[in-house]
Chain A
């Protein structure tokens, strides 16, 4: 057997602490995993999961604490050290060369096959077959990576890691890119593999945690806040623990839907880029002067929903009614003309043309309008004046409006987008992750603008991952799960716990 001589019977970490400037990433973490166990590591973004994994992989050194393998203490100076002991990681992004075959990809890291000038592919092939039989992992060694589906590529990553001698697998959100079917296959596969080795996997999804793990550890702010045997706890308990404790919610007592519906989505079926149904019979309506927050784990159809409303994706079946008019499968220009505003998820590449100046970006949707052009000739003076007004009104920090938009900070770019969308006086606004990655000041500014817009009678669909943002701003909260609206509830009833359970796909939330 190559590399690691011994199997890993147990891995134990004690009191691991890691500090970064201003952040306590891991705070006194102790965990133990034995052979044949699967530990699910759960927590929000920034909870310290990745830091912990990087410590296990030898990329970071803990400031305090100890690590033991089979009872003896180990120190990893680099990923190679961790590898020598048989710890292997499958990253979220696969590290494969697309135009090489499976054998060639695995040979890249398989040192035994490199004999001077010669690369012994036969040896690699034998090793792959051995691993495939041992774990029931079927891969076609001669397939090119680009020919494989995402699920198959992931299997190749697993085979690669195992071929190189891993006895202990770390998987970073292994199902995030997979279709539901592929997810089921992977979980079944990992279950059988777990009989021979140990697995730690990071996940946001309750179902996987429940199906696969034998132990679960929940991290929050660098601390293990819960640790236990998965089977001892019900789905809803774990879901509640995953999203955290009750916070005192600000109540939004505005009467529901007094002004009538603005946007109605009826039984939408929409395909994702990969061809499966990203939206599956989704229905939702949003009234004038109302903010509906869409909560959900990302990847459940949020992106497709935003795109389909704005005409950027085709509707397979169903209907979109906007202010009483049918806009199903209208093109983006028609949707914009009917009064739709859109703050897209990718602010740097979709919301602005990065190489254009700020003022050019202000007129991105209106270059042809009579306000800014006269028989196709742009009215420079009007554009300059309008841009200067918007810059002042929205407090965009830049010396002038000729600066290249792509050179602005994230917060300022978002303000440019917001300024453009609001100044077009829309009837409805779709805002996707409007404050992601922004500092408190910019986020607060954007929240205020959204509320102001709502009060002036505009309907808003707010898609966000941050439950606090959603519950603070929304009149109604809709929860999306696997392309369906799980439930719509008034913001006053949307506790963190209840949302968390709904987001995790548990249907009957009344039993808790």
Chain B
């Protein structure tokens, strides 16, 4: 089999997958009576037409990327982290606590300190399912999902209780949110008139960091070995439970940092609904990006586009934004199917032999014509 055919085959399959996803999505959109073409056009192009649109998409790229990077570390180490949503919430609580406790620290200290606190909060929330899996073989699917609920309740409790904005109490409106956090925590908004903040550089920096960690260091090597084949890793003297726990802590830390950056860059205070499903979309982004930082960044952009585009479809064509979640589901199914197709060498051989059959027939026909 030629290398050229292989590459061509892969690209062909991926293009086919995209078309399939679009067609499936089209059927659903058609079923709810939407204008299919217009909807797609709005989702995919409308956000990119002006400065605000582009920066708003990038704004969503930041948490998606950071979370997906963490998911990748866990996934590559053989544990599936569905708990990013909860880890992010705990990270936000930790960051808020630090900002409330030390509002007068200088910027250069407070920002790293608060983000680190977010990372530690998320790491603790990741440690629990990691340790449960490593020591007691508790399924991480169960424990991470359950911890999401616990985190959500804790988050609500803190926002309605200890961290509630004193102004809300005096005003009596009672919106569950913290007070405006110290201005020393604000991440710079570097384009005037937009909300895009320097968190995007943090996200890119973290992507580079994860690439080096996983593929250029012995720690990453061991984590990947533990994830790829637990038995072989054990045989090779790798302490698999230890690296499982470390991977889950890193994964949680990243979700926590995503939360920290989100409130320091966008909301400036802890409010309800900050996580808004990023923890789950992050899983899709990680898988869509091939569990590799180089794929995750563009994948995060694509999903950022989908999420922001969804808001616009609601306004411009009247398609509910929830439809984007349906589209995400379709995309996940198509990714899984594509992976299986790409991993099937027999299918590739059959396609190749068919291809050569058709191709040589054409050639012969041309020769006959000549």
Q: Which residues of B contact A367 (CB under 8 A)?
A: 218, 221-222, 225
**Bound CA span A328–B222, Å:** 25
For B224, the closest partner residue in chain A by CB is: A356
Q: What is the bound-complex CA distance between A27 and B216, given in angstroms?
A: 59
Give 1 or 0 for each of B214-238: 1 = CB within 8 Å of chain A CB. Answer: 0011110110110011011111111
In the complex, which residues of chain A have a beta carbon less than 8 angstroms from the beta carbon of B222?
367-368
Residue of A nearest to B219 (CB): A376
Residues of chain B lying within 8 A (CB to CB) of residue A138? none
Across the interface, do B235 and A312 meet the contact criterion of CB distance under 8 Å? Answer: yes
B-contact bits for A330-364, CB 8 A (1 contact / 0 none): 01110111000010101001111111100010011
* Choice from A336, A356, A378 contacting B225 with Cβ under 8 Å: A356
Please tell me if the beta carbons of B229 and A353 are within 8 angstroms of each other in the complex.
yes
Residue B322 lies at the interface, judged by CB distance under 8 Å to chain A: no
Residue contact B239 to A331, C-beta cutoff 8 Å = yes
Expressed in whole angstroms, the Cα–Cα distance for A332 and B241 within the complex equals: 13
Task: Decide if B217 touches A377 in the complex (CB within 8 Å).
Answer: yes
Chain B residue nearest to A336 (CB atoms) is B237
Known: A367-B221, A378-B221. A333 touches B231 (CB 8 A): no
Determine how close the nearest CB of chain B comes to the CB of A332; give it in whole angstroms: 5
State whether A333 touches B218 (Cβ < 8 A).
no
- A350 and B217 in contact (CB under 8 A), knowing A333-B237, A365-B237? no
The distance in angstroms between the C-alpha atoms of A377 and B235, with both chains bound, is 22
Interface pair B233/A353, CB less than 8 Å apart: yes
Asked whether A355 and B217 contact (CB < 8 A) given A331-B239, A333-B237, A342-B235, the answer is no
Q: Looking at A310, A353, A355, A378, which has the most chain B CB atoms within 10 Å of its CB?
A: A353
Q: Is the CB of B217 within 8 A of A376?
A: yes
Least CB distance, A155 to chain B, in whole angstroms:
29
Interface 0/1 of B322-366, CB less than 8 Å to A: 000000000000000000000000000000000000000000000
Inter-chain contact A363/B221, CB cutoff 8 Å: yes
Query: Main secondary structure on chain B at its contact with chain A?
Result: helix
Query: A333–B238 contact, CB under 8 A?
Result: yes
Distance in Å: Cβ of A111 to nearest Cβ of chain B: 35
Q: Give A52 Cβ to nearest chain B Cβ, in Å.
A: 32
Establish whether residues A332 and B221, one from each chain, have CB atoms under 8 Å apart when the complex forms: no
Given contacts A355-B229, A367-B221, contact A332 B216 (CB under 8 A): no
Interface pair A333/B239, CB less than 8 Å apart: yes
* A353, B228: Cβ atoms closer than 8 Å: yes
Asked whether any CB of chain B lies closer than 8 Å to the CB of A398, the reply is no
Chain A: which residue is nearest B213 at the CB level?
A376
Shortest distance from the beta carbon of B171 to any chain A beta carbon, whole Å = 53
Tell me which residues across on chain A come within 8 A of B238, comparing CB atoms: 333
The yes or no answer to A10 lying at the interface (CB within 8 A) is no
Report if A356-B228 is in contact (Cβ < 8 Å); known contacts: A312-B234, A312-B235, A333-B238.
yes
* Set of chain A residues within 8 Å of B233, measured between Cβ atoms: 353
Instruction: Judge if A319 is at the interface, Cβ distance under 8 Å.
Output: no
Q: A333-B239, A336-B237, A377-B216 are in contact. Are A349 and B221 (CB under 8 A)?
A: no
A402 to chain B, nearest CB (A): 13
Within 8 Å of chain B (Cβ to Cβ): is A54?
no
Instruction: Give the residues in chain B near A346, CB-CB below 8 Å.
Output: 231
For B225, the chain A residues whose CB sits under 8 A away are 353, 356, 360, 364, 367
- Distance to closest chain B CB from A339 (angstroms): 12
Task: Give every chain A residue within 8 A of B234 (Cβ-Cβ).
Answer: 312, 332
Complex: how many Å from CA A310 to CA B235? 8
Min CB distance B147 to A, Å, is 28
The docked-state distance in angstroms from the alpha carbon of A372 to that of B236 is: 15
Of all chain B residues, the one with the shortest Cβ separation from A332 is B237
- CA of A352 to CA of B217 in the docked complex: distance in angstroms? 19
B231 contact set on A, CB distance < 8 A: 346, 349-350
B229 / chain A contacts, CB cutoff of 8 Å: 349-350, 352-355
- Check if A373 is an interface residue, CB within 8 A of chain B: yes
CA distance A180 to B231 in the complex (A): 28
Task: Give 1 or 0 for each of A375-398: 1 = CB within 8 Å of chain B CB.
Answer: 011101000000000000000000
Q: How far apart are B80's CB and chain A's nearest CB, in angstroms?
A: 17
Q: Which of B219, B224, B228, B235 lies in contact with A332, CB distance below 8 A?
A: B235
Instruction: Give the CA-CA distance A376 to B233 in the complex, in Å.
Output: 18
Q: In the bound complex, what is the Cα–Cα distance between A363 and B224 (angstroms)?
A: 13
Task: Verify B237–A373 contact, CB threshold 8 A.
Answer: no
Does B239 contact A351, Cβ atoms closer than 8 Å? no
B232 near A349: Cβ-Cβ < 8 Å: yes
Which residues of A sit under 8 angstroms from B235, Cβ to Cβ?
Answer: 310, 312, 332, 342, 344, 350-351
Complexed CA–CA distance, A336 and B233 (Å): 13
Note all chain B residues with C-beta closer than 8 A to A355: 228-229
Distance in angstroms between the alpha carbons of A333 and B218 in the assembled complex: 15
Once A356-B225, A365-B237 are accepted as A-B contacts, the answer to whether A373 and B232 lie under 8 Å apart by CB is: no
A368 touches B218 (CB 8 A): yes
A372–B221 Cα gap in the complex (Å)? Answer: 12
By a CB distance below 8 angstroms, the chain B residues around A364 are 225, 232, 236
Task: Report the bound CA distance from A233 to B232 in whole Å.
Answer: 47
Is A350 within 8 A of B232, CB to CB? yes
Within 8 A of B (CB), among A8-63: none
Closest chain-B Cβ to A308's Cβ sits at a distance in Å of 14
Shortest distance between the CB of A305 and any CB in chain B (Å): 15
Q: What chain B residues lie within 8 Å of A312 (beta carbons)?
A: 234-235
Query: Hey, what's the 0/1 contact readout for A159-198 against B, CB within 8 Å counting as 1?
Result: 0000000000000000000000000000000000000000
Q: Do B236 and A373 touch (CB < 8 A)?
A: no
Chain B residues, CB < 8 A from A336: 236-237
| Residue in B closest to A369 when the chains form the complex, CB atoms | B218
A378→B239 CA distance, assembly (Å): 19
Inter-chain CA distance A20–B330, complex, in Å, is 49
- Would you call B216 and A378 a contact (CB within 8 A)? yes
Closest beta carbon of chain A to B198's beta carbon, Å: 28
Residues 90-115 of A at the B interface (beta carbon under 8 Å): none
- List residues 228-255 of chain B with CB under 8 A from any CB of chain A: 228-229, 231-239
- Chain B residues contacting A333 (CB-CB under 8 Å) are 237-239
Contacts of B228 in A (CB 8 A): 353-356
Task: Give Cα A295–Cα B216 distance, bound, in whole angstroms.
Answer: 44
- Does the CB pair B239–A373 fall under 8 Å? no
Most chain B CB within a 10 A radius of its CB, from A342, A344, A354, A376: A376
B210 to chain A, nearest CB (A): 15
Chain A residues within an 8 Å CB radius of B219: 376
Shortest CB distance A379–B (Å) = 10
| B218 touches which of A310, A344, A373 (Cβ 8 Å) | A373
Task: Note all chain B residues with C-beta closer than 8 A to A377.
Answer: 216-218
CA distance A367 to B219 in the complex (A): 8
CB distance from B238 to the nearest CB of A (A): 7
Cα of A351 to Cα of B233 in the assembled complex, Å:
9
Interface string of B125-157 (1 = CB under 8 A from A): 000000000000000000000000000000000
In the assembled complex, the Cα of A356 lies from the Cα of B219 at a distance in Å of 15
- Closest chain A residue to B237, Cβ basis: A333
Q: Known contacts A367-B218, A368-B218, A376-B217; is A353 also within 8 Å of B232 by CB?
A: yes
**Is the pair A352, B218 in contact by a Cβ cutoff of 8 Å?**
no
Within 8 A of A (CB), among B190-217: 216-217
Once bound together, how far apart are the Cα atoms of A331 and B235, in whole Å?
A: 10
Residue in chain A with minimal CB distance to B225: A353
Question: A327 to B228, alpha carbons, bound, how many Å?
Answer: 28
New contact pairs (11) apart from A364-B236, A367-B225, CB-CB < 8 Å = A331-B239, A332-B235, A333-B237, A333-B239, A342-B235, A353-B228, A353-B229, A354-B229, A355-B228, A364-B225, A377-B216
6 contacts between A and B (CB under 8 A): A350-B232, A354-B228, A354-B232, A372-B218, A376-B219, A378-B218
Which 4 pairs show the lowest CB-CB distances between chains A and B?
A333-B237, A367-B218, A364-B236, A336-B237
Residues of A at the B interface (CB closer than 8 Å) are: 310, 312, 331-333, 335-337, 342, 344, 346, 349-356, 360, 363-365, 367-368, 372-373, 376-378, 380
